[in-house]
């Protein structure tokens, strides 16, 4: 999950994978089978337990994690936007189709 502090220019933190010393993993799977066993309840519990109060939004980067039912709950409980890579891809595809349809009309 990427967290960006509200301060302008503040660095983003990716909480799901350790990519540098200022990033931390909160859910780790040893292989794809183990990743597939992670439940939406686990995703929700981990995000709520690790949510920093000073972030503007939450982003769950792994497309294999079950987030469809989690995102609205996170957004409501944390009073900030919650997005996943799947939601972002669908949103972009929708925008592209709408633009294509508008040009064709």
Per-residue pLDDT of 36-82, as tens digits, reads 888 999 999 988 888 877 778 888 888 888 999 999 999 999 999 99
- Parallel, antiparallel, or unpaired for β 2-5 and 82-84? unpaired
What pTM was estimated for this model as a whole? 0.66
Q: Give, to the nearest 10 degrees, the angle between helix 70-78 and helix 40-50.
A: 20
Q: Is 48 helix (H, G, I), strand (E, B) or coil?
A: helix
Other CB atoms within 10 Å distance of the CB of residue 82: 22
Q: What is the mean pLDDT of the chain?
A: 77
Tokens of 25: 């993993």
Residue 26's pLDDT is what? 66
Residue 32's pLDDT is what? 81
Q: Please state, for a pLDDT cut of 70, what percent of the chain lies above it.
A: 75
Instruction: Kindly list the domain boundaries of the chain, sorted by start residue.
Output: 2-104
Rounded Cα distance between 17 and 88, Å, is 19
User: Is the per-residue pLDDT at 104 higher than 90?
Assistant: no
Handedness of CA 79, 42, 65, 98 (dihedral sign): negative
């Amino acid at each position: 999950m990427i967290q960006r502090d509200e301060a302008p220019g503040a660095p983003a933190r990716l909480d799901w994978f350790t990519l540098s010393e200022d990033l931390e993993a909160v859910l780790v799977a040893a292989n794809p089978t183990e990743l597939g066993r992670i439940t939406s309840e686990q995703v929700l519990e981990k995000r709520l337990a690790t949510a920093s109060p000073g972030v503007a939004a939450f982003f769950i980067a792994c497309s294999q994690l079950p987030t469809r039912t989690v995102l609205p709950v996170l957004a409501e409980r944390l009073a900030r936007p919650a997005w996943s890579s799947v939601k972002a891809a669908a949103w972009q595809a929708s925008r592209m189709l709408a633009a294509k349809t508008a040009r064709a009309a």
